[in-house]
């Protein structure tokens, strides 16, 4: 499977899973650049769509990253929020993709 196609499939799977997982799909500019055809689904769109998840804690998003390991069907999602100048929480999710579905999911929540 081509690297770009694999990442696009992972993107679709995570988007479909966002309503059932605590991990939210915030994608970095770099990720958006290699997934053409997802207009309206960039970082700003995800922040707007999911801002209640963060603002309910009075937090502001400081950084969002997505990274893919193309040697294995795994995607990681990382978000960092700040509240009154201090790091409030980090969210990291690791999804293993098989046949277009999430087959395992590990998450890390820190206060």
Domain boundary assignment for the chain: 3-110
Q: Of the given ranges (14-28, 76-90, 94-108), which has the lowest mean pLDDT? A: 14-28
User: What is the pTM assigned to this prediction?
Assistant: 0.27
Residues 6+ apart with CB under 8 A from 111: 88, 89
The beta-carbon contacts of 104-111 under 8 Å, at least 24 apart in sequence, are 105/21, 105/23, 107/21, 107/22, 107/23, 109/22
Q: Contacts for 103-109 with beta carbons within 8 Å, 24 or more apart?
A: 105/21, 105/23, 107/21, 107/22, 107/23, 109/22
Confidence at residue 58, expressed as pLDDT on a 0 to 100 scale: 46
Per-residue pLDDT of 11-41, as tens digits, reads 555 555 444 333 333 333 333 333 333 344 4
Residue 101 has pLDDT above 50, yes or no: yes
pLDDT at 89 over 50: no
Is pLDDT larger for residue 21 or for residue 47?
47
């Amino acid at each position: 499977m081509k690297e770009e196609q694999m990442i696009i499939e992972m993107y679709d799977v995570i988007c479909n899973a966002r309503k059932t997982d605590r991990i939210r799909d915030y994608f970095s500019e770099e990720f958006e650049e290699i997934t053409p055809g997802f207009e309206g689904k960039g970082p700003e769109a995800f922040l707007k769509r999911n801002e209640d998840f963060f603002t309910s804690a009075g937090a502001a998003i400081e950084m969002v990253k997505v990274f893919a390991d193309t040697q294995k069907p795994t995607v990681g999602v990382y978000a960092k929020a700040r509240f009154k100048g201090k790091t409030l929480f980090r969210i990291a999710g690791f999804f293993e993709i098989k046949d277009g579905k999430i087959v395992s999911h590990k998450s890390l929540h820190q206060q």
